């Protein structure tokens, strides 16, 4: 097996027109091939009317390239890009709900929060809500640290990612508007 064929975590960034139903159009391309989406985020971009979908999937590069080409075929998709971890800056937000009693018992939790670069965003007599922004690995670390105190609820957001490439979204879209050429081809990964 070559490196190419090993399943790895990839981040997909898909620029689309802001149209209803697009999420469905995108996800059926994954579900058709029974690919699980690890996380998903939809947001606006700096260009009015353009949305960005950020998806994280674990797949082989080869398989993913086929999926991406099918995504690019969607009429309302402006561009689709696949990134390795080292090609992007990315963050996820995690929220943890922990019993207030655990907090009162000793100062440990407060220390944990501080050491992990997290913060307490709410506190009442029943529970505390802790927020941590970071990579999945970092938010998981804090999860493990808090686990002995009893986690009532845990939630992690989809990934938001910004590529290290020099491409500007607006310029990319201008290029599409001005040319008859196709969406970025696979060699532009």
Task: Give the binding site for another protein (CB under 8 A).
Answer: 16-17, 21, 24-25, 28, 32, 65-66, 69-70, 72-73, 75-78, 173, 176-177, 179-183, 185-186
Q: Give the nearest distance from C-beta 81 to another protein in angstroms.
A: 15
Q: Would you say the C-alpha torsion 44, 50, 56, 57 has a positive or negative sign?
A: positive
Q: Which is nearer to another protein, 28 or 122 (CB)?
A: 28
Report H helices in the chain: 22-32, 61-73, 100-105, 108-115, 136-146, 169-178
Angle, vertex CA 162, rays to CA 175 and CA 138, nearest 5: 165
Q: Which is nearer to another protein, 80 or 130 (CB)?
A: 80
Q: Which is nearer to another protein, 106 or 185 (CB)?
A: 185
Q: Which is nearer to another protein, 19 or 126 (CB)?
A: 19
| Distance separating alpha carbons of residues 18 and 24, to the nearest angstrom | 13
Q: Which is nearer to another protein, 74 or 95 (CB)?
A: 74
Q: Give the nearest distance from C-beta 22 to another protein in angstroms.
A: 10
Contact 103, 24 (CB under 8 A): no
169 CB-near residues (< 8 Å, 6+ apart):
15, 45, 46, 47, 50
Q: Give the nearest distance from C-beta 70 to another protein in angstroms.
A: 5
Q: Give the nearest distance from C-beta 73 to another protein in angstroms.
A: 5
Q: Give the nearest distance from C-beta 133 to another protein in angstroms.
A: 32
Task: Compute CA 22 distance to the chain's CA centroid, rounded to the nearest angstrom.
Answer: 17
């Amino acid at each position: 097996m070559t490196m190419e064929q090993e399943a790895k975590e990839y981040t997909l960034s898909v620029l689309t027109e802001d149209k209803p139903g697009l999420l469905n159009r995108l996800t059926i391309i994954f579900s058709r091939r029974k690919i699980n989406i690890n996380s998903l985020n939809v947001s606006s971009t700096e260009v009015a009317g353009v949305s960005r979908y950020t998806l994280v999937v674990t797949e082989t590069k080869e398989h993913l390239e086929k999926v991406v080409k099918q995504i690019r075929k969607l009429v309302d998709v402006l561009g689709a890009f696949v990134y390795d971890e080292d090609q992007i800056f990315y963050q996820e937000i995690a929220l943890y709900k922990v019993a207030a009693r655990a907090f009162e018992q000793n100062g440990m939790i407060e220390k944990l929060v501080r050491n992990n670069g997290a913060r307490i965003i709410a506190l009442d007599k029943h529970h505390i809500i802790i927020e941590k922004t970071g990579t999945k690995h970092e938010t998981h670390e804090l999860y493990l640290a808090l686990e002995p105190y009893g986690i009532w609820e845990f939630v992690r957001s989809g990934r938001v990612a910004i590529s290290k490439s020099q491409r500007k979204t607006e310029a990319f879209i201008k290029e599409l508007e001005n040319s008859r050429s196709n969406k970025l081809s696979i060699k532009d990964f």
